[in-house]
Chains A and B, each alone.
Chain A
Amino acid sequence: NAGVTQTPKFRVLKTGQSMTLLCAQDMNHEYMYWYRQDPGMGLRLIHYSVGEGTTAKGEVPDGYNVSRLKKQNFLLGLESAAPSQTSVYFCASSYRLAGGGNEQFFGPGTRLTVL
């Protein structure tokens, strides 16, 4: 099993350009998440999904959109990139467990620079 994979690994954009980050998991997980990691800030949740066809906002959703058309894929879109979106983006997935206790499995990350 590949686990959680992310495409691309690196990307440089100019301000105003758009792009889509792809996350795929082969563990049949219900839940998927997009985070951004900035120096000294830990991980912050952008959007998440509790199942195919559903998405919800996290802590820092502005400037991002997501879609979960297939259970195994979770896409993160930047419609008009800004320098403040320069960050490392991580995708994660987890099982749906009653009562919580959901260990999250992380992808390797996408390093995005917006000039």
Chain B
Amino acid sequence: SQQGEEDPQALSIQEGENATMNCSYKTSINNLQWYRQNSGRGLVHLILIRSNEREKHSGRLRVTLDTSKKSSSLLITASRAADTASYFCATALIYNQGGKLIFGQGTELSVKP
């Protein structure tokens, strides 16, 4: 099964609300990354958190990592209609050759104006 599994699969909120997405993984990681994919487009990197970090911020994004629980969460604060997209977590394993990432199945976020 996939290294990364995301929850929920779909999330619908109103503009201005916060959105939280979760990612769980199975094996030890070097880092965990979050990507966004707008409909019909390629993925865009949002944020990276290393295994020795617990929390990271970038603008309206907040990512947490709990290596003991093998889980991460992505919080988008004060959401906007433009945040509507699919969000994927991706893990880079320890001793990773070639910078490979293993992607989760994604969370589809819909932000209603």
Contacts and interface: CB of A to CB of B under 8 A. Distances in A.
B88 A43 contact: yes
A100 B105 contact: no
A21 to B, nearest CB: 14
Given A101-B48, A102-B92, A96 B99 contact: yes
Contacts of B41: 108-109
B48 A107 contact: no
Contacts, number: 71
A94 B30 contact: no
Interface string B39-74: 011111100101000000000000000000000000
B104 A31 contact: no
Interface in A59-77: none
Contacts of A50: 97-99
A31 B31 contact: no
B106 A101 contact: no
B42 A108 contact: yes
Given A43-B43, A109-B41, 15 more contacts: A33-B100, A41-B105, A42-B104, A44-B103, A45-B100, A48-B98, A48-B100, A90-B42, A90-B43, A99-B30, A102-B99, A103-B45, A104-B45, A105-B45, A107-B42
Interface of A: 4, 31, 33, 35, 40-45, 48-50, 56, 58, 90, 92, 94-97, 99-109
